[in-house]
Every structure is written in structure tokens, then in C-alpha cells.
Amino acid sequence: MFVLVNLKAYPCDPVAVAEAAHDVAAESGVRIAVAPQAAHLERVAETGVETWAQHVAPISYGSHTGHTLAEAAAAAGATGTLLNHSERRLTLADVDGALDAAERADLETVVCANNPDQVAAAAALGPDAVAVEPPELIGGDVSVSTADPGIVEGAVAAAGAVDPEVDVYCGAGVSTGDDLAAAADLGAAGVLLASGVAKADDPRAALDDLVSGA
């Protein structure tokens, strides 16, 4: 199982979370990545943890003020990027363009989607993975794998019908080892989470608990 920790814009210490994630990954053998703010990519990457961007724009070099260039994210140490998170929605055409940008920069990609239909549309664009995250559960205390297991199973089936090579992750409310184990039982290859680690009093303890379900 892959664990991708999205720090969003939470007021946490990104380096401290990254160091904890690096240590837990090394000790448990579970693949863990951290997605900080763009300004913190280099500092997080220097910890040795697998580092992801939260977003890259569907652009190349040129006159694009305020956009995150995929090549710049990669140069700062990112090896992957989220796309189309529910808090950073893109049109389907822009998802396609951002995937092209990520491919140019050799970034692994996860495209987020709300439901199985969107998962199928995203999988058709050829990302490395898709993640199903019902918006109403994001930031809550109940995991999608518990609150709506059918949507995870549906997402796995939808992606598999389009492209069996595309992995499916699930997110929204994930925070414990039980959540991780439930996601795996439903066919997911990984999980996305944010507040369960980024807002935890002890991120290391939260990560230890999470990987106990792997």
C-alpha cells in the first residue's frame, strides 16, 4: 500500500512531518510520500522522504505568472504530483494538459476524482493512478472505506474496465491502520490523507498507527 500525505496549507512543520514519514517508511517498509506547499518542496525533499507536489499546471515554460511549472517542481525534488484535488479542481482538458506537463518532467501522477464515473474519465487519460475522494468526507473523522465502501469498490472496477494498469487509491477521512486495511480489502492500492497526520499532535505516532494496517 502507498501512503500519500497531503499537507495542504495546514500550519504544520513540513520538515518535521517529512522526517517522521521518512523514518516510518524506512522502519516499516511501507511506501510513504509527503506533498507540501510548493514553497516547501526543496526543504521536504532534503529529508530524503519521497516528495510530491500538490499540483502542477497544464503549462510549459513561458508567460504563466502564478502557475506551478512541472519542471520547477521536479527541480525542487518532487517525484510525483497530485492533480485535480477537490480543493484544486481542473477541467478535463486541463487535467490532460497537466498530465502532459508531469510526463515531461518525469513526475508520477495521481488524478483525484469524486466518484466512479469521474474515476473512469480520469483513468482514460493515462495517469499512473487515480484516487477516489468523496468531497463530503474530506477532513472528517470517518474514512471513505468505512462510510461508503461501495464507492471504493466501484472506483476500482471503473478504473480496471478502462485501463487495468492504473492504480486506484482512496482518500477522505483516512487516519488509522484499520482505515488502511479496509482500503486494501476493497481493492485500493494506496490511500491519500491530510488532516490525520498534518493536524496530529504527534505525526510520528499517527503514521505508526496508519502503517500498522499495511
User: How would DSSP label each residue in 105-119?
Assistant: TT-EEEEEESSHHHH
Active-site annotation holds for 133: yes
Query: CA distances (Å), 83 to each of 37, 101, 108, 154, 210, in order?
Result: 14, 11, 11, 20, 24
Q: Choose the catalytic residue: 64, 133, 136, 165.
A: 133
Q: Do the annotations mark residue 195 as ligand-binding?
A: yes
Rounded Cα distance between 114 and 123, Å, is 13
Q: Which residues pair with 50 in a beta bridge?
A: 33
Contact call for residues 213 and 181 (beta carbons, < 8 A): yes
Q: Choose the catalytic residue: 22, 85, 103, 108.
A: 85
Q: Do the annotations mark residue 59 as ligand-binding?
A: no
Q: Do the annotations mark residue 115 as ligand-binding?
A: no
Q: Do the annotations mark residue 32 as ligand-binding?
A: no
Q: Do the annotations mark residue 6 as ligand-binding?
A: yes
Active-site annotation holds for 40: no
Rounded Cα distance between 50 and 116, Å, is 28
How are the residues of the chain apportioned to helix, strand and coil, as percentages rounded to the nearest 5? Answer: 45, 15, 40
Q: Do the annotations mark residue 114 as ligand-binding?
A: no
How many helices (H) and strands (E) are present in the chain, helices listed first? Answer: 10, 8
Q: Which residues are annotated as a binding site?
A: 6-8, 138, 173, 194-195
Q: Which residues are annotated as a binding site for substrate?
A: 6-8, 138, 173, 194-195
**Which residues are catalytically annotated?**
85, 133
